[in-house]
Amino acid sequence: MEMESRFMVRYAETDQMGIVHHSNYAIWFEVGRTEFLKHLGLSYKEIEKRGILLPLYEMNCKFKSPAHYEDEIIIKTKIKLLSKVRAIFSYEVANGMDGKILATGETMHGWTDIRLKPINAQAVAPEIYSLLSKSEM
């Protein structure tokens, strides 16, 4: 399953050249991931209330074309891989006006408890794991 998030590039996200600064893509990936979970009926807040965290341990992003102030941005988010100990989300960032791909990327997360000790998500939170596994590519 793939979820789309849409928004406009804000002036503060651009650099002196009028191009979106690369640091914003990590934030945009988080927007996509948060909305993906909400679409499934989950939220980070609810997951964390259960004592479960999904810390980021790796991220990559390939920039293909620049985004500019007031461009409409579409972030397509999906789960690339789900296991008992980790989850990998993939992202495609596109220009909403012409569909041009601006960037692609992934974030890798580990399932942990509040002490950041790895957990088996399927055993600790079977309903959350099941919801996510049904949405996996």
Catalytic residue from among 15, 71, 98, 113:
15
1-50 pLDDT tens trace: 999 999 999 999 999 999 999 999 999 999 999 999 999 999 999 999 99
**Residue 4 to residue 14: CA distance in whole angstroms:** 22
Given a cut of 80, whether residue 136 has pLDDT beyond it is: no
Q: Is 98 a residue of the active site?
A: no
pLDDT tens digits for 61-76? 999 999 999 999 999 9
Q: Which two tokens stand for residue 27?
A: 């934030």
pLDDT digits 0-9 by tens, 102-113:
999 999 999 999
What pLDDT, on a 0 to 100 scale, did the predictor assign at position 137?
Answer: 58
CA distance 16 to 6: 24
Mean residue pLDDT across the chain: 96
